[in-house]
Chains A and B, each alone.
Chain A
Amino acid sequence: MSGPGPRLAQVRALVENEDAAPGDQPGIVGRMQRLCRAASDALTARGVGICLIAEVDAQLTVAASGPVTEQVEGLQFALGEGPSLEAHAARRPVLCSDLRGSAGTRWPGYVPAVRAYGVRAVFSFPLQIGAARLGAMGVYREVVGGLSDEHLAQALTFAEVATVELLDSLPAPGGPHRVVQDAVDNRYEVYQAQGMLTVQLGVGLVEAMARMRAYAYAQDRLLGDLARDILAGRVVLEPDEP
């Protein structure tokens, strides 16, 4: 299996090589801030923001490439409408290459508000793995026009990396924060095992995936192989494993 190809490695390298800025938060938030800046440069955007839409109380945390983008990103939550909320709800990207025209009827409050910041096009990508949904990544541009195919694929990959890093930042039982750098494994066994674990461990999908990844990392195993063992009952993760 030759894996997901060079784009994933390229995007990860862009995030790794992004310098920390003064005022960056520690830990995963800081990492998401660097990811937003790397994505913004790579996608020739005005800014990139990441919002977390919590499953329980819809509380939002925001990381962004800069303070202005952070304000822009926050607008839709104040207004209760916008592309990232829609991407989260519809479980697919929401790509709006021109905020004039029909976008104004789609988001009557949001569009004038972001246009006042000079934003002319918005592209939002859900951070999700199946029914496990974390939030969305918004890409803001000051020019009207769509993302090129290459930029689209890159943006989807940035969103994929953000999703995985957020999952891996969840506190794993008995261990410090772990960053699992293996390839995103798309074999369906992984998702089947994830579903199975929600029942075995009595946890949600997000935590089930985080637990599975942490276990694979600790045992130095490939996620797909571990998933097959979980499905076959050869490996059982304990509900309160120390």
Chain B
Amino acid sequence: MTMVTAERLAEVLVEVADTLVDEFDLIEFLQMVTRHTSDLVRAEGAGILIADHHGRLRLMAATDERAETVELFQVQTEEGPCQDCFRQGSPVIDVDLAESGDVWPNFAPRAVAAGFRSVHAFPLRLRGTVIGALNLFGTQTGSMTPADVRIVQALADVATIGLLQERAISRGEVLTEQLQAALNHRVVIEQAKGVLAQVHAVGVDDAFDLLRSYARSHRRGLSEVARAVLEDPKSVPELTSRA
């Protein structure tokens, strides 16, 4: 894999910084981090998972449907690189999925069937606490350079900072408050997807696209629009009235 250029990295960091000060939407932000991370190291997909109070990982964002499907499978079977990375607190780098059937008997064949060949996972960490993991999928092995590893870990750290937003990170309490808010944001989006799937007679993935394009074109946050769909549908008639 070619090294990331300094220019490209700078561009990404500028966009990340912009997002942190603009009208902030956490789920959108995490989605952006997955997209950039995947692009920067030329991976084929990425996802971010964070742990709930039972220590279960839950999917927060993914680059696309293919990555999302594999991530959700990983969550349900409680097996895979993110689980290992989260439990060990250290990265899982460049694992060949074709040879991982022993380690991950459920996850590995599923990821291979989705067209992936290699997988990497990086911890989201804050002062010795691991709160989740960032997962990358590739279609070839042996492509992750040491420089790539540092960049991906840096972006995983950016994702953690995004979770905390502007709130002081001095207190562990703030971390709990923010993580719980983040987990609930994602549930709100899933509920809104269900509403839109029914109203427009489409699948939940298409419903998510509707939600996202509406939020973008109206320059509103994803979670905010999802809440409007659920709590005040008349305020977003383009989304909630049948065409």
A residues in contact (CB < 8 Å) with B? 1-2, 4-5, 7-8, 90-95, 97, 126, 128-132, 146, 149, 152-153, 156-157, 186-188, 191-200, 205, 231
Contact of A146 with B194 at beta-carbon distance under 8 Å, contacts A2-B78, A130-B188, A188-B72 already known: no
Given A4-B54, A95-B173, A146-B172: A90 in contact with B190 (beta carbons within 8 A): no
Complex CA–CA separation, A188 to B69 (angstroms): 12
On whether the beta carbons of B177 and A8 are closer than 8 Å, the reply is no
**Interface residues contributed by chain B, number (CB under 8 Å):** 38
Decide yes or no whether B98 CB sits under 8 A from chain A: no
A128 contacts B194, CB within 8 Å?
no
- B residues sitting closer than 8 Å to A (CB atoms) are 52-56, 58-59, 72, 76-78, 171-173, 176-178, 180-181, 184, 186-188, 190-199, 204, 226-227, 230-231
B184 touches A196 (CB 8 A): no
CB–CB A231/B55 < 8 A: no
What residues on A are CB-neighbors of B78 within 8 Å? Answer: 1-2
- Please tell me if the beta carbons of A153 and B54 are within 8 angstroms of each other in the complex: yes
Q: Contact check: which of B54, B59, B180, B193 meets A192 at CB < 8 Å?
A: B193
Are the CB atoms of A198 and B172 closer together than 8 Å? no
- The answer to whether B188 touches A131, judged by C-beta atoms less than 8 angstroms apart, is yes
CB-CB under 8 A from B172, the residues of chain A are: 146, 149
Partner among B56, B76, B230 whose Cβ is within 8 Å of the Cβ of A4: B56
**CB closest residue in chain A, given B231:** A131
Contact B176 A188 (CB under 8 A): no
Max chain B CB contacts within 10 Å: which of A94, A97, A188, A205? Answer: A188
Question: Given that A91-B184, A94-B177, A130-B190 are known contacts, is A186 also in contact with B195, CB under 8 Å in the complex?
Answer: no
Interface contact tally, CB-CB below 8 A: 108
Return the contact of B184 from the options A5, A130, A157, A195 (Cβ within 8 A).
A130
Q: Is the CB of B171 within 8 A of A146?
A: yes
CB-CB under 8 A for A186 and B194, given A131-B227, A131-B231, A146-B172? no
Interfacial chain B residues near A7, Cβ < 8 Å: 53-54
* Residue of chain B at shortest CB distance from A4: B54
Q: Given A1-B78, A94-B177, A186-B58, does the pair A152, B53 have CB atoms closer than 8 Å?
A: yes
Minimum Cβ distance to chain B for residue A83 (Å): 11
**Which chain B positions have C-beta within 8 A of A157?**
53-54
Residue numbers in A under 8 Å from B181 (CB-CB): 90-92
Q: Which residue of B lies closest to A90 (CB)?
A: B181
A90-B181, A191-B190 given as contacts; is B195 within 8 A of A196 (CB)?
A: yes
* Residues in B neighbouring A195, C-beta threshold 8 A: 190-198, 230
Contact residue among B53, B196, B199 (Cβ-Cβ distance under 8 Å from A156): B53
Q: Which residues of B contact A186 (CB under 8 A)?
A: 52, 56, 58
With the chains together, A150 CA to B227 CA distance in Å?
31
CA separation between A58 and B187, bound complex, in Å? 23
The 5 A-B pairs with the shortest beta carbon distances in the complex, nearest first, are A195-B194, A130-B187, A92-B181, A191-B190, A192-B194
B195 contacts A92, CB within 8 Å? no
29 intermolecular pairs with C-beta atoms under 8 Å apart: A4-B54, A91-B184, A92-B180, A93-B180, A94-B177, A95-B176, A95-B177, A130-B187, A130-B191, A131-B187, A132-B191, A146-B171, A146-B172, A146-B173, A152-B176, A156-B53, A186-B58, A187-B76, A188-B187, A191-B190, A191-B191, A191-B194, A192-B197, A195-B196, A196-B194, A196-B198, A197-B194, A199-B195, A205-B191
Q: CB distance B227 to A188 under 8 Å? A: no
A161 to B231: give the CA distance in the assembly, Å: 24
Q: Which residues of B contact A191 (CB under 8 A)?
A: 187, 190-191, 194
